[in-house]
Chains A and B, each alone.
Chain A
Amino acid sequence: MLVGVDVGGTFTDFVDEDLRIHKVPSTPRNPGAAVLAGLRALRGTAMAHGTTVATNAVLEGRGARTALVTTEGFEDVLAIGRQHRPSLYDFRVTRPDPLVPAERRFGLAERVASDGTVLRAPDPEALAAIAAQMRASGAESVAVCLLFSFLKPEHERLVRDALADLPVSLSSEVLPEFREFERTSTTVLDAYVKPLVDRYLADLEASLGAPFLVMRSSGGVVRSPAVRARPLDLLLSGPAGGVAAARVVADLVGERNVITFDMGGTSADVSVIADGQAAWTIEATLAGHPIASPVVDITSVGAGGGSVAWFDAGGALRVGPRSAGAEPGPMCYGRGGTEFTVADADLLGGALPTALLGGTMPLQVHAAKRGAKALISHFGTYDEAIVAVQSVVRANMGSAVRLALSKRGLDPRDFALLAFGGAGAMHAAYLARDIGIPRILVPFLPGAFSAYGILVSDLRHDFGRTQVTPLADAGPVVEDILAEFSDRARRAFERQGFREEPLLAPSVDLRYVGQSYEVNVAVGGDLPAEFHRRHEAIYGYAARDEPVEVVTVRLTATIPRPHPVPPVEPHGEPVKGTRSVVFPEGRETATAYARVALPVGFEAEGPAVVEEDHATTVVPPGARFRVDRHGVLAVEVGA
């Protein structure tokens, strides 16, 4: 039995092929313990795993003692970065310290020119000297990033040969693309987490007796040995499971354009699926360190159930980004929390049930009320205070959604908002109304949606290499690179035991000569025409007479995996009773529905709440909801 496993901060979630859900408290010091416990409970024999061990190592500065080899004269590229500061006016905000300090950054006398010719080859003595310095520095892993190594990888390979006994990450393999700072940062991150990820995955392989699937930041899975060789791809994989699941659900209900909205305890993650494809980026960062390999583009806002309400120096009500976390948590948890949070407002407003985790964790209304009292003097009544906190947290999330759409030139009216996470469905309807999104979707399994996404993700390998060439005569160059990538993709899948023919999605990053940013265009049709069209769509103009050049050639190879969907088997009474719920329009009596009891095609009007074990969907007055044939809840919000 294959099990999807997602390790979260509080719980580790499991979903098996029969779509049974299981939750085990996470064991942060040894995350593998919870993973193995859950697998045993579900009698899992194989797993698809989402893990944040690498991410946490970077956030907490617990990675390896890493050394860096650069072209001589460029040892400080990692420290200078793109030379800008993170905050214009606030001196308290600084750049993160580089992951490799100056004393472990070593320059090698070598140089390759921008056309790939060797200006200076590294001599053996210099290589030996670097190897000796490296050992003396006590390095546990090494990153190598030489200028223009994407054109001429040989020099980096010589360095690796000289350092046979250390884990080495070469930039020409990790990210053979131009822009040296971003490439260095990406390669250093790979080396920084390599020893730790290797240990973690090797231990799990040993416990399971076989390699297993692992979720990567690209939104696809591969077998664990491939991840041990390139752990970089784990760093932003946390929210990727939810996006992968969202793609499956969007496809099922026939929505091409979806905004995913995952609201949990401390933050809300937003991503865009446009025309069936999850938007990706090469401009992601982790703790301020750039990761320039393509990853699912996710915007995170400090807005969740635990976000704290406070008044600033000018007297405005603010919510977040600080969170009460799981400990002590919101006041209503009754664990000593003293600050009023979004969850407290949701409880008093009647949206959050009076007990969580299937009734096992009762909430304390009186504790939340104590918090609300402090706000009443500003707002008059409890209800107004509740609406105030909910509206302010929505305003923060609304800006994130608008920005994600705006930077791609997309219109909210063409989208549906797909809500999951503990608090997503509760806030989605009014968020959609604020932004002008006409409908929200609440998928099945909202409480373990990410684990489901990991279970059903495609097998996926991505390749890319910079080769700047005029588009007019790029044909053979691009074909050669793509042939090589396809071959490597097939071999990579075969090594993992997958013999199916992969689906190949070749593309090129193109730009007008002289520009400094690129547009990704699928290879297949009329490339120049498609480039001009997409350039115009994104940037508002096309310069059809200007010469175009290829910058980076890319290939995504996937092998689809089965997408089991839970059957809709309604049982029990649809109507559980009524709830007194606070809406921005005022307090109203809402009908409470049990989601497990709703048959396909069931329709009703708001005001309503649709309750299930790990989530509640709020349906505003005047909105309608309907259960579609896959059990997905669709709410027309009338925006």
Chain B
Amino acid sequence: MNPAELEILRTGFAFVPEEMGVALKRTAYSPNIKERMDASCALFDGRGRMIAQAEHIPVHLGGMPLTVEFLLATFGGELVDGDQLITNDPYRGGSHLPDITLAKPVFHDGRLVGFVVNRAHHADVGGQAPGSFPVGRVTLEDEGVVLEPAKWLRGGEENPELRRRILEGMRNPRERLGDLRAQVAANELGARRLRELYDKYGGATFDAFADEILAYSERRVRAALTAAPAGTYRAEDALDDDGVRDAPLRIRCAVTLGADVRVDFAGTDDQVAGNVNAPLAVTRSATYYVIRCLTDPEAPPNAGCYAPVLVEAPPGSLLNPRPPAAVAAGNVETSQRIVDTLFLALAGAWPDRVPAQSQGTMNNLLLGAPTFAYYETIAGGEGALPYRPGMSGVHTHMTNTKNTPVEALELAYPLRVEEYRLIPGSGGAGRFPGGDGVRRAVRFLGDEGTLTIVSDRRRHAPKGLAGGADGRPGRNLLVRDGQERPLPSKVTREVRRGDLLVVETPGGGGWGPAPYR
């Protein structure tokens, strides 16, 4: 395959998941998918190798290949044209229950030639709390409906048993079915496009291309890997707590760079009673994210990129829990700490590329009342790079979803935002200072409601690097009747009319010693 054919085929096949994403965004029902694009699309070959992925959200990087692996193992020979498979099982490649994956096997002249797959974050999948994010001592069952790998469509027909479970188990089931149909439609479009390409180029070319594009990405990543000195790099970092017991949770890693990258999380704390356990798919995604940032951020994302990367986490640990551990926040909080720990370890290997620590949390804020449900993640400070200051008020690492405009929020909900600004000086000082965190103050104007906050870095500050100062940790406050009360990092509680919720997000760490003034 010559270098132009490779590029032309890459462009053509990369557009399949790209266009699926456009269709999904267009036809989805809920704002979470539509506006925030908390979803990912990918194309696999008939052997289950990921050929192309549209870049929407990093936390899905490692999960989809694992899910397809499980699906192939479960259904291998029983797949027929017209099937679409479904699962959200965090113990079979899923990230957390709200992320539902739909996969469609694609046939050409009766032969299985590939899969088109998409994963989307649903606003609610049932369980104890609206938004499926209950804080406290919980298990997977408390977090929502678990969909083990199953056929959602059989010959194009929806599975009535699953449909019943969704209707009975999830809040706002009409929206769920609307979003699921958008996911189905995106896969149908992807399948059509894949068949068109197959017609245009022929099976032999497609197979040759699949091998070549994986080798190509692997070459690019390996070329970048050779820039780092071989050796084993270690680090340790911690989550503040799990929302149940007020004690830090340690993550340890040893990264061995050689011909390959071996990442071992041995020594990490055991799984916990709260919801911060990270399923292996999330642990892998966070690791892949770090390797992608440090090696070749533009290598076409496919299985080849990760061929040189081996990830191990002890079974029963925080980063490879056993069922039925709860996992909702593993995806949003623990994933960030895995990234922090790995960057910390690799600062010695790539001193000119590794950033100081960023805010390290997504500051999930959920406000619910019988009449409405509002979910938001709040930006913070980015860690400084060895060549530039960190950005202020920005989402970092494993998420990149947009905020809700203040005016849109107030037009839709009985809420008033009283402050939305940067916290000057919250980024760590340094030759390049860390980005500043954000202060967002929201007044509750409904009668009564439920507040959930899932956040971290309220105690352990984001670390500076190479002599840069740490960022300032975040704070959560409730102001009631003029009295300010601190809230824990992870909390579910009632709120009353007039309560003011204040979330201050962490600043990023600085890089290099600050100049003397």
Contacts and interface: CB of A to CB of B under 8 A. Distances in A.
B394 A378 contact: no
Contacts of B382: 85
A317 B27 CA distance: 35
A102 B402 CA distance: 22
B403 interface: yes
A378 B407 contact: no
A379 interface: yes
Contacts of A277: none
B221 to A, nearest CB: 9
Interface stretch (A124-132, A395-403, A598-606, A611-619): A395-403
Nearest to B4: A388
A207 interface: no
Contact of B422 (A80, A82, A388): A80
A11 interface: no
B355 interface: yes
A114 B4 contact: no
B420 A76 contact: yes
Interface string B15-39: 1001100110011010100110000
B181 A516 contact: no
Chain B CB within 10 A, most for which of A84, A113, A180, A468: A84
B407 A79 contact: no
B422 A76 contact: yes
A180 B405 contact: yes
Interface string A76-88: 1101111111011
Interface stretch (A30-38, A45-53, A493-501, A534-542): A534-542
B459 interface: no
B34 A517 contact: yes
A77 to B, nearest CB: 7
Interface string B391-405: 111111000111111
A314 B219 contact: yes
A22 interface: no
Nearest to A379: B2
A445 to B, nearest CB: 32
A178 B6 CA distance: 46
A302 to B, nearest CB: 14
A113 B421 CA distance: 19
B29 to A, nearest CB: 8
Contact of A76 (B220, B393, B412): B393
Contacts of A179: 405, 407-408
A83 B393 contact: yes
A207 B137 CA distance: 78
Contacts of A406: 19, 22-23
A85 B410 contact: no
Contacts of B412: 514
Contacts of A312: 220
Interface string B405-421: 11110111000101111
B4 A403 contact: no
Contacts of B353: 91
Contact of A73 (B55, B410, B420): B420
B3 A317 contact: yes
Given A74-B421, A83-B379, A178-B408, A88 B55 contact: yes
B293 interface: yes
Interface residues of B, number: 74
A398 B200 CA distance: 16
B438 A90 contact: no
A361 interface: no
Interface in A377-433: 378-379, 384, 387-389, 391-392, 395-396, 398-399, 402-403, 406-407, 409
B202 interface: no
A602 B8 CA distance: 35
A392 B4 contact: yes
B145 interface: no
A379 B224 CA distance: 26
Given A85-B400, A403-B18, A316 B182 contact: no
Interface size on A, as a range, is 35 or more
B285 interface: no
A85 B293 contact: no
Contacts of B31: 515-516
A80 B411 contact: no
A529 interface: no
Contacts of B402: 82-84
B12 interface: yes
A151 B9 CA distance: 52
A318 interface: yes
B7 interface: yes
A6 interface: no
A162 B484 CA distance: 37
B250 interface: no
Contacts of B224: 313
B289 interface: yes
A607 B405 CA distance: 56
A104 B379 CA distance: 23
B406 A74 contact: yes
A178 B405 contact: yes
B408 A314 contact: no
B338 interface: no
Contacts of A244: none
Contacts of A389: 4
Given A73-B421, A516-B31, A84 B220 contact: no
Given A79-B392, A80-B379, A80-B393, A318 B289 contact: no
Chain A CB within 10 A, most for which of B289, B378, B379, B396: B379
A90 B297 contact: yes
A283 B12 CA distance: 26
A88 B12 contact: no
Contacts of A181: 405
B391 A95 contact: yes
A295 B224 CA distance: 42
A368 B18 CA distance: 36
A360 interface: no
Contacts of B421: 73-76, 80
Contacts of B289: 89
A316 B216 contact: yes
B178 A379 contact: no
B292 interface: yes
Contacts of A384: 2
A77 B422 CA distance: 9
Given A79-B422, A85-B400, A315-B3, A407 B379 contact: no
Contacts of B405: 82, 178-182
Contacts of A388: 2-4
A475 B350 CA distance: 63
B393 A79 contact: yes
A113 B410 contact: yes
Given A94-B391, A315-B216, A392-B7, A538 B26 contact: yes
A84 B395 contact: yes
Chain B CB within 10 A, most for which of A85, A102, A179: A85
Nearest to B35: A516
A147 interface: yes
Contacts of B419: 73-74
Interface string A293-331: 000000000000000000111111110000000000000
Given A80-B438, A91-B353, A392-B7, A541 B181 contact: yes
A84 B401 contact: yes
Nearest to A74: B420
Given A316-B10, A378-B3, A94 B388 contact: yes
Interface of B: 2-4, 6-8, 10-12, 15, 18-19, 22-23, 26-27, 29, 31, 34-35, 55, 57-58, 178, 181-182, 185, 216-217, 219-220, 223-224, 289, 292-293, 296-299, 353, 355, 378-379, 382, 385, 388, 391-396, 400-408, 410-412, 416, 418-422, 424, 438, 441
6 contacts: A74-B421, A85-B395, A88-B55, A182-B405, A403-B19, A538-B26
6 smallest A-B Cβ distances: which pairs?
A388-B4, A89-B297, A80-B393, A540-B27, A83-B379, A114-B410
